[in-house]
Amino acid sequence: MPTPTPTPTPNPPAPGPEILAAFEAAKGFMPVGEGLALYAAAVEAGRLGLPLLEVGTYCGRSTILLAGAAREAGVTALTVDHHRGSEEQQPGWEYHDPETVDPELGVMDTLPTFRRTLHRAGLEDHVVALVGCSPKVAALWNSPLALVFIDGGHTDEHATADYEGWAPHVAEGGLLVIHDVFPDPVDEFTGQAPYRVYLRALASGAFTELPATDSLRVLRRTGDGI
């Protein structure tokens, strides 16, 4: 029997003040407006009774929203990240934060900050952190997911691997959410790879587009063909 499609509510659900405050206090780059849209998508998808998964955790800013939605739905939020930082977060790049560097090893390690973020938000019990490279974790995964949020590396290699590894696991009626989708070629480094993945998802015939919020794209799984 096909998985039922959740019915969107006229007024999108919003996180409670404690979740929103924890989100705004956490390290990360997602604006509030996109965060609210992500939360609403996660609440809707959570009605399928399946896990919610994000690729690209960084310090847990968006994880707070997924975990809050997972708690409401009685499901689990999963995060996939090697916690060594993506390309634009390395030393010498615009989004580098020296506080995320391991002082002993001299390499990025966002895992401790991520764990503190979840602890402060009171959400540790609702999240399973999968520490490793996205394609390797995806190769071991064999269960359907209510939501896949792609927000990892912004090269074609990494964005494509995230899509190919995880999009097939989105359940019928579930949601594929892609962050940093910028159609303008001027954004080649920051958003063109996610944009190309978004176009590929639409062209597959497996997804139907829902309303977008700034650089956040939401697509519902409505068919096969990934």
Whether 94 and 196 have beta carbons less than 8 Å apart is answered as no
Tokens of 150: 């792609």
Given 126, 154, 158, 179, which residue is catalytic?
154
CA dihedral 7, 16, 109, 34 (to 10 degrees): 50
Helical pair 17-25 and 32-46, crossing angle rounded to 10 deg: 130
Scored b (16 or more CB within 10 A) or e, 3-41 reads: eebbeeeeeebebeeebbebbeebbbbbeeebbbbbbbb
Does 179 participate in catalysis according to the annotation? no
In angstroms, the Cα distances linking 207 to 6, 36, 125 are 15, 22, 31
- Looking only at the bridges linking them, the beta strands covering 145-150 and 77-81 are unpaired
Q: Is the dihedral of CA 20, 25, 29, 31 positive or negative?
A: positive
In angstroms, the Cα distances linking 17 to 56, 113, 121, 123, 150 are 24, 22, 11, 14, 25
Instruction: State how far the Cα of 161 lies from the Cα of 159, in Å rounded to an integer.
Output: 5
- Looking only at the bridges linking them, the beta strands covering 217-221 and 207-209 are antiparallel
Catalytic residues, by residue number, are: 154
